Amino acid sequence: MLDFPIPRIIAANLKRRSRLRRTLLTPHFPDTPMSTLAPHSDAVIWMNGQMVPWADATIHVLTHSLHYGSGVFEGLRAFATDDGPAIFRLEEHTDRLFDSAACVDMTIPFSRDEINEACREIVRVNRLKTAYIRPICFYGPEGLGLHAKGLRVHTAIAAWEWGVYLGDEGLEQGIHVFVSSIIRDRVNAPLTSSKICGNYVYSAVATAQAKNAGYDEALLLEADGRISEGSGENLFLVRNGMLETPELGSALDGITRGTIMEMAQEEGIEVRETRLMPEDLMNCDEAFFTGTAAEVTPIRQVDEQIIGDGRRGPITTQLQRRYQDIVSGRSDTHRHWLTYTRP
């Protein structure tokens, strides 16, 4: 039982959710095999310093991180530009990968420069014009006790074409969001706010709830009822011309989040990190998600509550277009955020 007053935005749906609970907590996974992510028949994955054929990049069933979620990962995008594919904020993503590894006492057996170059190389070798890039580091199968001392750290980087995470229509028309019953934990904030594999069980179940109930995405709360984040995105509200985002606690300190905050300030938009409650969604003018996969995605409705006039708002549009100009190399500002993949 939650120990905070039930927000009005949630209360209207409690009975319905109670009836659907069993269905919502049963994740739905498509029958499509993972191998279909391969961009072409001779696609490869960078694994422990070598290019390995896509189908051969496998692990042992007793891999420590498979059992305990003790791996760390990142998600990056390479965007098409006039000068070829460019990875957005590569160095910042790699720094966060190493920071996450430090949280689980993992030593990555490659330098930051080697990881950066491997991310560039995997896009080139797979002949991708745009790409989602997934580096992951994990403990091997040399032992299955909880203590990972002495286990080999494996590192892999995959890249494939992945369209807008929440759909092109979502970018234009906005998405319908579900307030999840899954609670984010603020305890041990450095762990919960790092990209550690095990942390994403919360996100996977919350996403399953949302999708199975016909929604586009989930919004998660903390134990005291405050808003944390989306299942894989940070949240922003627009109110009276000001941008508001939840203060960090259990939420990831997203790189796209920081990008939008910096861009907004450059546009003369005041930004405030604050405690946000679900009720704040009822009186905001606009809302949107940000993330590497989601980019800048408007929210048109949360549960039964229409946001603003139910469409992408003017400030969301302004920031979305500025973001697209930067990542595609059309803007003269922040070109240092782009790392081109060509040699």
pLDDT tens figures, 79-117: 999 999 999 999 999 999 999 999 999 999 999 999 999
Q: What is the pLDDT of residue 187?
A: 61
pLDDT over 70 for what percent of the chain? Answer: 88
Task: Using pLDDT thresholds of 50, 70 and 90, give the confidence band for residue 201.
Answer: very high
Q: What is the pLDDT of residue 32?
A: 42
Residues belonging to the active site:
195
CA distance 277 to 302: 13
Label residues 57-92 b or e (16+ Cβ within 10 Å = b). beeeeebbbbebebbbbbbbbbbebeeebbbbbbee
* Span 59-87, average pLDDT: 97
Task: Express each pLDDT in 317-338 by its tens digit.
Answer: 999 999 999 999 999 999 999 9
Of residues 183 and 80, which shows the higher confidence score? Answer: 80
Flag whether the pTM goes above 0.75.
yes
- Domains in the chain, ordered, with CATH? 8-27+166-327 (3.20.10.10), 34-160 (3.30.470.10)
* Span 117-124, average pLDDT: 98
Residue 6 pLDDT more than 60?
A: no
CA distance 87 to 109: 22
* Span 271-290, average pLDDT: 95
CA distance 81 to 297: 21
Residue 205 pLDDT more than 90?
A: yes
92 with 338: CB under 8 angstroms? no
Average pLDDT, the chain: 89
Residue 276 pLDDT more than 50?
A: yes
Q: What is the pLDDT of residue 34?
A: 44
